[in-house]
Copies of this chain bind each other. A is one copy, B any other.
Amino acid sequence: MRRVAVIGVGVTKFGLHDRTSAELFAEAAQDALTDAAIPATAIQALYYGNVVGGETEHQLHTGPQAASVLGIPSVPTTRFETACASSHAAFRHAVMEIAAGVSDVVLVGGAERVLNVSTAESTEYFAYASDAVWEQPLGLTFPGVFALIARAHMEKYGTTEAQMAAVAVKNHRHGALNPKAQFQKQITIDQVLRSAYVADPLKLFDCCPFSDGGAALVLASEEVARRHRKPVWVLGSAAASDWMLLGDKRDLSRVPATERAAAAAYRQSGLGPRDVDVVELHDCFTIAEIVATEGLGLFEPGAGGRAAEAGRTSLGGEIPVNPSGGLKAKGHPIGATGAAQIAEIVTQIRGEAGPRQVDGAKTGLTHTLGGNTATVLVSLFGRD
């Protein structure tokens, strides 16, 4: 297989926008093309992630729409949907297109618009990623899913609400350093613990927000990437799945798909968790970050909560997690999230992350989760 690099990244500000998802993507894509110093006409394929466009914008077939808005209407384009991991899936398939020798320069990204509908509606649409026959009729929405996971983790390992709150506080502290973040303000443990319960034990400040936004990446073959500044190499990229139904999973305190995808990505790259300098992972809820740090092998099972509380995952800590602010503070436009995480890791590895830079970051990892933990993608990145 041919080597693949990221040579350009672009991300919109996340939060409330008065534009379509295609327009949000176009802004991010133009930034990525400028960053890569290539014209749109150099793009040979477009890999596009979008999740609830059918529901919130009455828009399917979003691949060619995004290509048209960018002025490159004839490029092959596909929309990918793996719930909240959609643009990470788009990225992984794009890597395969270049690895297979089909193309040399591919644009990858995604966008989502949900703040044009009510919170009740977006909560329902997000729940479409759960099973429509067995789970949705029970009223199971995502805060409920992760509340069940949190309870399982608390019972098995003694994880506390204060430890979960520490994740939110840390990610808000990081987000305050990110001009693209939806929330750029710090919060306190006390604020998190006193916020309203959404799904016991998860409170409002344990939950990431609904967000509009777009993100884009320019990928290139080694031959093309060598001509560009600071290529960041894809060292591994893997996907794994798990039972769709929560009731089919044996142990809610773990996410087997994270463990499988991480094992595969580490194997591809020849690296292990101790080789990783910086991580962007899927903290849709604070408990999700704790479970992910364990599944990725950064900490032993059950140790994630204490590690967060001890500051081991903070900027300046031993393994900074979510320097961008994560989904919690940066925001979570679900179709864009996977690509935005990769954009952050590329920026970190280039050493261009400004006040949120992880000193000496050479190797980074991104982790994106879809649905009731049924889809996970993990990718690893490094520089020459």
- A136: Cβ under 8 A from any B Cβ: yes
Q: A97 at interface (Cβ–Cβ under 8 A)? A: yes
Contact between A77 and B128, CB atoms less than 8 A apart: no
Q: Is the CB of B78 within 8 A of A61?
A: no
Contact assessment for A63 and B375 in the assembled complex, using a CB-CB cutoff below 8 Å:
yes
The answer to whether B1 touches A68, judged by C-beta atoms less than 8 angstroms apart, is no
Question: Which of A30-38, A48-56, A274-282, A300-308 lies at the interface with chain B?
Answer: A48-56
Q: How long is the Cα–Cα vector from A129 to B54 in the complex, in angstroms?
A: 9
Q: A256 at interface (Cβ–Cβ under 8 A)?
A: yes
Residue-wise interface mask of A (55-90) relative to B, using a CB-CB cutoff of 8 A (1 in contact, 0 not): 101111101110111000111111111110000010
Q: Are B20 and A133 in contact (CB under 8 A)?
A: yes
| A243 within 8 Å of B (CB atoms) | yes
Asked whether B81 lies within 8 Å of A60 as measured between CB atoms, the reply is yes
- Distance in angstroms from A244 CB to nearest chain B CB is 4
The residue in chain B whose Cβ has the minimal distance to the Cβ of A84 is B61
Interface residues of A, Cβ cutoff 8 Å to B: 1, 20, 51-52, 54-55, 57-61, 63-65, 67-69, 73-83, 89, 93, 96-97, 99-102, 125, 128-133, 136, 238-245, 248, 256-257, 260, 370-371, 374-375
A-B contact pairs, 8 of them (CB 8 A): A55-B55, A61-B244, A64-B370, A73-B248, A74-B242, A77-B239, A79-B82, A93-B93
What 6 pairs across the A-B complex have the smallest Cβ distances? A76-B239, A100-B100, A64-B374, A61-B129, A68-B244, A61-B83
